[in-house]
Amino acid sequence: MLYLLKNDDKQAPWQIQYENLFERELSTCGASHATIRIDNVRTLNKEDIVWVMHYKDLHTPEVKETPARVMSHANATTANPYIYQLGMDEEAEEMKDIVDIVLTFSKRQTEAMKTLYPDKQYIDVGFPIEVPELNLPKIAKTVLVPGRISPDKQFYMTAFLLTPLIKKGYEVTFCVQMNEKNKYWLDYYDKKKFERLGFKFLFCDRGTYLAQAAISQYVFSASLGDVMQVSLAEACMSGCYPVIPAFREGLPCYDEYISNGYEPFSQKEIIRIFESRPHLSFEAWHFAPVTCTNRLLKGLKL
């Protein structure tokens, strides 16, 4: 039996949709599943699977002591060296001692993680996302930069790389979920200084973000610390042209579902891509809820 362990403390804006889409598709296909409270996890047996849908629950005594197999989605930055926010000891404990079944975003992420944790079961499910069709007209020379303001999102690098575009008449908008952590970094970076350079900041919920994505022509990232940005995928699904760094190291990254990218840190190549818009493909199958669920059930043999 598959049990979904949810947490009222949602870890990110994508969490509610992630839970709801998987639960909807499991119900639609008639897969046997149920939700469970954390205080009942110890009552499961070894034939059961408890799907921990919030990372915080992985470190609870209930999850550590359950007889059931523990399943969790890999952190998007797992096995990527360009990060700062994950504690190495905590991640090692999760992967070595707690999680039995690892859901991954792509085959490349699985390959990278197997080098570190070869004894786990991996299922390449992708990540379920749906966006509404807003049918808003695109505005020329508009660039969307999604995500929190923090070092791993390469805020300074983004501003450096896109300043020449502002001088060419592009409008660059950072879309940020407002919270105390973002406020700290905005104060540290001195937001007003960047506004004087021409950058815009939009503090928004998911609906406002999707509306901004609908009218934006491009979505940009300079981050080498994200291997799977939900907000980036949402922007692509809203019709934005992605301008992202291309990795060559074989790390799990964007280019499994986006076919090309720019050489990291190259202003010249970024300007070329914005102005020439070379052909690329965006593989939306990574994000179709029904195919994500089918791959999950196939991997679990349910």
What is the reported pLDDT for 147? 85
pLDDT at 160: 95
Q: pLDDT under 50 in the chain at which residues?
A: none
DSSP 38: G
| Alpha-carbon gap, residue 296 to 200, rounded angstroms | 40
CATH value of 142-284 in 3.40.50.2000, 2.40.10.120, 3.40.190.10, 3.30.930.10: 3.40.50.2000
Question: Per DSSP, which regions of 121-264 are E strands?
Answer: 121-124, 142-146, 171-176, 200-203, 218-220, 241-243
Please list the residue range(s) of the chain that carry CATH number 3.40.50.2000.
Answer: 2-130+287-300, 142-284
Residue 11 confidence (pLDDT): 66
Q: Of 220, 235, 223, which Cα lies nearest the Cα of 282?
A: 235
Q: Tell me the one-letter amino acid at 122.
A: Y
pLDDT of residue 150: 79
The angle, 0 to 180 degrees and rounded to 10, between the axes of the packed helices 15-28 and 289-300 is: 70
Distance (Å, whole) CA 236 – CA 68: 38
Three-class DSSP category at 189:
helix
The class level of CATH for 2-130+287-300 reads: alpha beta
pLDDT score recorded for residue 252: 60
How confident is the model at residue 254, as a pLDDT? 67
Structure tokens at 261: 């990218």
Count of other CB atoms within 10 angstroms of residue 276? 8
The H or E element that residue 73 is part of is strand 69-73
Which pLDDT score is estimated for 51? 97
On the CB side of 37, how many CA atoms lie within 13 Å of its CA? 2
Q: Is 173 exposed, middle or buried (0-12, 13-18, 19+ CB in 10 A)?
A: middle
Contacts 24+ apart (CB under 8 A), 258-264: 258/282, 258/283, 259/283, 264/222, 264/224
